[in-house]
Amino acid sequence: MEKFRVTKVHDGDTVSIRISGFAKIPVRTEKVRLIGIDAPELKQEPWGRLSKRYLKKLISESDWVVYLEFDVEQHDKYGRLLAYLMDKNGRMINEKMIETGHAILYTIPPNVKYAERFTEAQKKAQLRKAGIWRKGGLRKSPEEWRKEHPR
């Protein structure tokens, strides 16, 4: 796994990382979509904002440094990198977002390496009524919300 600096948290499931240049390749930033999770959209108040804030907290606790682990497909249809993010202590950020109720399980084959682990994390969050699972929580999944509010 390679070490990267996070330069921006876009929402609860997407960040930008700095990729250091080498040889004649310049330094650049890349968007990274966290595999296996779907966070509420920013306009899904208050959950989208809370999800983004929590992801930012996890990354700041890791001194804005993360390690990326890839699965079968490394890019989505928007050109973003697809990855599992680990903090400086080896804790998986994707899983933490699910188990605290800041994101839901969102599995898209063939990237299913940790699907069972994420399913268990979501069950725990639901049992504890954490975050979006609390009474009066998220009314529509992010996917349903996007279908009703196309860009």
Return the active site residues.
33, 41, 80
Number of DSSP helices (H) and strands (E) in the chain, helices first: 4, 7
Residue 124's alpha-carbon distances to 81, 96, 127, 141, in angstroms, are: 28, 11, 5, 18
39 vs 42: CA distance, rounded Å: 9
Report which DSSP code applies to 139: S
The answer to whether 112 and 71 have CB atoms below 8 angstroms apart is yes
User: Do 65 and 113 contact (CB within 8 A), yes or no?
Assistant: no
Compute the distance between CA of residue 96 and CA of residue 130 in angstroms, rounded to an integer: 12
User: Where does residue 23 rank: exposed (0-12), middle (13-18), buried (19+ CB within 10 A)?
Assistant: exposed
